[in-house]
Amino acid sequence: MRAESGTSGRYHVSSGCIRRRAGTGNPDYSRRCTAMAKLVTGGTGFIGTALVDQLLERGEDVVILDRAPSTHWDNASHKPTIVLGDISDWPQVMNVFTQYKLDCVFHLAAMLSLPSEANPWAAFQVNVVGTRNMLEAVRLFGPNKLIMASTTATYGLDTDPVITDTTLQRPTTMYGASKVFGELLGRFYRKKFNTDFRSVRIPSLVGPLIKTRAIGQYNSWMIEAAAQGKPYSCYGLPDRGLPLIYYKDTAAAFAVLADASPDRIKMVNYNIAGVNRSVAPQEIEASIKKFIPDAQITYDPDDVVVQYFKALR
């Protein structure tokens, strides 16, 4: 990856990666962090940003590996180091692991549900090759601990009414299949190389300023549009619900799982729950209209979303 013209020297190119100290106009020329740091892939994304905030509040040093820059921490007193790079590019991944001292990896970078269905090959590169690269880098360079973001989309056909950590996984979507692969590969590394692999299966998220169009993000966008007095056309099915969780609770779950003693890790891959049942868009609409009676909400289900829900039956 090369710096594009017009970056005004904000990024420093090194061994195929661009790194920038958040909140500064100057490149970060230091070869290594002086202290052990937490690496967060996808750290400028929705959950990643919340997790990085929580780690920084604890006084942790944080390195972010992400394809997208962020100005979120520009005015923060304690800033992460942002490395612009692609997890599916092995030299770029190696660059990060050789440049910084790391004691834990939070692997959140991924292509989400709807983009994965629209471009399965790209999803394979990011979710499968990228996860393999992260596990191999942890094996070769350390640290020995990797916490991966998985998804409840790993479940699929003929699931029980109540899904547990041990429910049979038979996904019929590219996103779900790629995440099952990541879970199984992590278990392989755990058994073969004694890698301390753990993962969290995330349900649909609710929170402000979600940017990526995924299977359940209309839940948040519906609320935001109503609060801003804007009409909203929901691309989900009115009566088909998804399990929901608040995004900061999800970030906290990653931190708690990472802090757990190895002898307490029994399942390895863990479900997390927020709201204790699935919530349909029309239920959210009804709740919104209790507070904003004139909210303009209509439905125009996306064909990909319709097919996605059919695949879950």
Name the residues annotated as catalytic: 175
Continuous H helices in the chain: 46-57, 90-99, 113-118, 120-123, 130-141, 174-193, 218-227, 247-259, 281-291, 303-311
Please name the residues in contact with 38: beta carbons below 8 A apart, sequence gap of 6 or more.
55, 60, 61, 62, 63, 102, 103, 104, 105, 106
Bridge pairing between strands 269-271 and 12-14? unpaired
Distance of CA 300 to the CA centre of its chain: 27
Q: Which of 269, 274, 282, 229 is nearest to 252 (CA)?
A: 274
* φ, ψ of residue 133 in degrees (nearest 5): -60, -40
